[in-house]
Amino acid sequence: MNSWLPLSEIDFEARMADAGRPILIDFSAPWCQPCKRLEPELEKLALQLAGQADFYTINVDEASNLAAHFQVMSVPTIILLVNGQEAVRTSGYQPLQRLQTVFAPHLGS
């Protein structure tokens, strides 16, 4: 996912502190087939919402503490943070239209 930057436990706090706009986080894993199916949909979403949010992906195998912090029980899970607070989340494969319906209303346009 080109628009979705990898985020590790080490740089999480710094990225959150520097966030000037909402943040979409994709919690996924390389072995997860639904995650792989979701990638193209997430890339389209990032292109449509460019400038309205920052986009990060977190590998739950490498950042299990972050997954636990956000109570991620399954992958893929997408969480939108607005002003550092969780605004909405979705889990499992979602087509682009569903992703737009869930996240766009929280991004102001």
- 80 φ/ψ angles, rounded to the nearest 5 degrees: -105, 125
32, two tokens: 């997860």
pLDDT digits over 5-23, tens only?
999 999 998 888 877 899 9
- The whole-number pLDDT of residue 81 equals 94
Region 72-84: what's the mean pLDDT? 95
Q: What digits encode the pLDDT tens for the residues 40-66? A: 999 999 999 988 999 999 999 999 999
Enumerate domains of the chain plus CATH numbers: 5-103 (3.40.30.10)
Q: Which two tokens stand for residue 78?
A: 């997408």
pLDDT at 83: 87
pLDDT of residue 109: 52
Q: How far apart are CA 101 and CA 81, in angstroms?
A: 16
* Predicted pLDDT of residue 2: 64
Residues annotated as part of the active site: 32, 35
Q: Is 106 exposed, middle or buried (0-12, 13-18, 19+ CB in 10 A)?
A: middle
pTM over 0.85, yes/no: yes
Please list, residue by residue across 53-84, b when 16 or more beta carbons sit within 10 angstroms of its beta carbon and e when fewer do: bbbbbbbbeebeebbeebebeebbbbbbbbee
